[in-house]
Amino acid sequence: MRCVVQRVTRAQVTVEGETVGQIGKGFMVLVGVESEDGPKDMSYCVEKIAGLRVFEDSEDKMNLSLSDVGGQVLLVSQFTLLGDARHGRRPSFIRAERPEIAGPMVEEMAQALRQKGLRVETGRFQAHMQVELVNDGPVTLLLDSRKGF
């Protein structure tokens, strides 16, 4: 499972002109489910997202987590994170999980984050989405449950 975590002051996702998810301060998380991902992969990402200390404390050091600052999460599925563009000009998405498996995993991930006391909004799975965000810092982190980077 791969995630792009961006610290934001605000973020929203719209589908056909309708806002389907919107947050203030927190994390915009793009998530790609890889074939053969399972509960351990999801758990790894949930724990990392909930525990990341990238918000400034009173001494301007990145030392606070989402829960410390009352932050929120906008979780958006993005299978293109699994795209392999090393060969040729057209990326291969063969490593991305099938939608009927990936969709429920993304929803399960959202529920797991909620169980940690976080407010979580989501995009709409398999929809053409427009995502807007204000990256704060900028702070952007890459997570890979298989430690690919």
pLDDT band at 23 (very low <50, low <70, confident <90, very high): very high
For residue 148, the model assigns a pLDDT of 73
Asked if residue 20 has pLDDT above 80, the reply is yes
For residue 16, the model assigns a pLDDT of 96
> If you average pLDDT over every residue of the chain, what do you get?
96
Asked if residue 147 has pLDDT above 90, the reply is no
- Nearest one of 148, 22, 112 to 76, comparing CA atoms: 22
The identity of residue 142, as a single letter, is: L
pLDDT in tens, 113-143: 999 999 999 999 999 999 999 999 999 999 9
Work out the burial of residue 71: count CB atoms within 10 Å of its CB; fewer than 13 is exposed, 13-18 middle, 19 or more buried.
buried
Report d(CA 31, CA 2) in Å as an integer.
Answer: 6
Mean pLDDT to the nearest integer, 2-9: 98
User: How many alpha carbons fall within 13 Å on the CB side of residue 77?
Assistant: 25
User: 134 with 9: CB under 8 angstroms?
Assistant: yes
For residue 24, the model assigns a pLDDT of 98
Report d(CA 14, CA 91) in Å as an integer.
Answer: 25
pLDDT in tens, 36-86: 999 999 999 999 999 999 999 999 999 999 999 999 999 999 999 999 999
pLDDT band at 149 (very low <50, low <70, confident <90, very high): low
Residues with catalytic function: 78-80
